[in-house]
Chain A
């Protein structure tokens, strides 16, 4: 999935880049995207293969005109030789790895796409570093390399609007000083808010859990069965309690985990999330925790908060940014949650007044249990 998003992102941006820069002219440019916020420095590099062959024929088989026949292992060495980083205290870094090779075609030009990763040394000065880059340029002196910021937050929007260009590497300008990208708190907030929204909207397991939790909300339990229909006011109150306590629960663990106070391995958390769906679906069939629904919602919230934290940890923030990111991400989740509740609860409240609500409730619960059981097994192996 991540690869697909990467590809989409790269494609969108490259198309827009080439539309303004090199479209209609044959001397294509290279692009370098730098992520300065990850624990390692990551460069994503787009190189036009025709210019690469002009620069170094030995990277290609001599008997073939097919640019796709480029020799990958020779290219790794080539990139190691022509791309390096110098830290502020004059420490020279070479790429720890060059990988994720792929060939893409944009505007009839074939590009080699790859990633280079540099390990930041322990005493790394975070105020910036120098990038030395002369791939292709060492020979094709007219070659131009556009260098831009890139991080996973940009990926969230899959749009180029927040891509900031650092500069142009060209003849006699083979070194570029890279400062860490300055992201304003507001733009970060927007990005993370949207990220939180899209995360829960796309997270079918969280949605299913929420649905199971509120499925019996319009009903009143008696004799260990869901019996009569609750008054609207009571229904709204119980949904509000459930959602609030679920929110409190997941906010708490999301914050504690993201800020580094607690830590749980991902796999059991994923299984527990699936188990929580199973239990809440069972509860929707027969009331097993009707009186203490809000506390159950809170406890399951703690588990789901862990899962959100795992999601957020993939994005990699520095410590200053994390508070803003945390609040925005959580608010994004709450917003979608609220919208879903607003959409679903009135429907449930209406359906609860029909004779077939029991059938709906039980069918949905059984479906949710089936899905949850599948996830438990899938996530256990």
Chain B
């Protein structure tokens, strides 16, 4: 009986302490209530204008990815018009006609919103959300119309590169890269109304892809343009084969391969290492970048000091980028890149392991064309999913005419 009383007492003590602990516990737990929303370090304010595309629960194909090979030979049909810009505007309006109100609100954005216009990235869309409608969330009719817009905005070469980049995401997914990689996670946006003579901008992008094409009174400015691809070598998906940046990479390598040993040494960026492209995403800055190398920081070998044959290889490399767009749309801009006066102020340069030479299979190899306006750079990074191979990140910019110089 005595023992029983003691047990009772200790039980009561335990109960009291437990009560106390529960009391304190519930209070202190409030201090660990955390809101995981992260501040955007880059100063990007893209809330509200994007991201809602992913909410669409419309009839999309399985797992959000799209059957890329189905779109390799699409024709513009009724929108095959006299000029490529007419065709593009026709295709853009055809797409608009297929969308419901919510989708239209995602697709059509305010041209004067410079900060939104400068939101794009090399990263997967889970890391940086993009403007516009998500391709993988569209119904079949709208998806085909959206692919026609891409086809009309790009040249045949450019359109094949586009297909290759989005197919590469499905390929990475197949290799176990996870749901972050999908051909469906690419986005299309119009800033302003598509028009053959008005001012508007088309944005098409996702992981490793950013087309920012500004149209000012009928002239196109296809910059800034980021393309990357992993793998950088040819790969197969649904029995179609892709190698989106192989031509671009090869053309730059051919340019450096034509240099003599001393020219190659002169073109080498000694004291500088590149883990990525230098002039990467604008992160919603709303302004043109102002930190290109200037003065003595512009390094490399002058194109005008090279032989005609070597200069022809430089021109061929530049053409790999500008030929991704319909000629008549971008010729006003791009012809200026390859003139002799431009070449008198255009440097080609490379970085990486000097002893290895310009070898794109070595991580850290970096190649650049730096003109008075033109800026092309290619960085070779270790793969993220295919980690024993390098992959490309590239930038094509115009120091004066990014976004049509109209932000």
Asked if A161 is an interface residue, CB under 8 A from chain B, the answer is yes
A139 adjacent to B39 (CB under 8 Å):
no
Contact partner, B384, options A16, A24, A343, Cβ 8 Å: A24
Can you sample 24 A-B contacts with CB below 8 Å?
A: A20-B38, A20-B127, A21-B42, A24-B123, A24-B180, A139-B272, A139-B273, A141-B278, A148-B39, A160-B36, A161-B37, A171-B278, A197-B31, A198-B28, A201-B24, A201-B28, A201-B31, A335-B27, A340-B20, A340-B24, A344-B16, A347-B16, A359-B9, A360-B9
10 nearest CB pairs, A to B = A27-B275, A159-B34, A201-B28, A343-B23, A198-B31, A172-B291, A27-B276, A16-B38, A165-B41, A359-B9
A207 adjacent to B180 (CB under 8 Å):
no
Q: How far is the CA of A351 from the CA of B20 in the complex (A)?
A: 14
From 8 to 63 in chain B, residues with beta carbon under 8 angstroms from any chain A beta carbon are 8-10, 12-13, 16, 19-20, 22-25, 27-28, 30-32, 34-43
What 0/1 readout, one digit per residue, does chain B (241-278) give for beta carbons within 8 Å of chain A? 00000000000000000000000000000011111111
Interface size class of A (residues with CB under 8 A): 35 or more
A146 adjacent to B41 (CB under 8 Å):
yes
B122 adjacent to A141 (CB under 8 Å):
no
Total A-B residue pairs with C-beta atoms closer than 8 Å? Answer: 150
A344 adjacent to B19 (CB under 8 Å):
yes
Contacts of A240 on B, CB cut-off 8 Å? none
B288 to chain A, nearest CB (A): 14
Given known contacts A20-B127, A54-B275, A54-B364, is B35 in contact with A159 (CB within 8 Å)? yes
Asked if B108 is an interface residue, CB under 8 A from chain A, the answer is no
The interface residues of chain B, by DSSP majority, are classed as loop
A344 adjacent to B23 (CB under 8 Å):
yes
Contacts of A351 on B, CB cut-off 8 Å? 12, 16
Given known contacts A161-B37, A339-B23, A339-B27, is B276 in contact with A142 (CB within 8 Å)? yes
From 290 to 342 in chain B, residues with beta carbon under 8 angstroms from any chain A beta carbon are 291, 293, 297
Contacts of A360 on B, CB cut-off 8 Å? 9, 12-13, 16
Contacts of A12 on B, CB cut-off 8 Å? 34
Which residue of chain B has its CB nearest to the CB of A347?
B19
Q: How far is the CA of A195 from the CA of B32 in the complex (A)?
A: 11
Q: Which has the most chain B C-beta neighbours within 10 Å: A25, A171, A195, A351?
A: A25
Contact partner, B31, options A143, A172, A194, Cβ 8 Å: A194
A168 adjacent to B42 (CB under 8 Å):
yes
A7 to chain B, nearest CB (A): 15
Given known contacts A25-B381, A343-B23, A356-B5, is B12 in contact with A140 (CB within 8 Å)? no
A164 adjacent to B39 (CB under 8 Å):
yes
Contacts of A55 on B, CB cut-off 8 Å? 273
Contacts of A230 on B, CB cut-off 8 Å? none
Contacts of B381 on A, CB cut-off 8 Å? 25-27
A356 adjacent to B41 (CB under 8 Å):
no
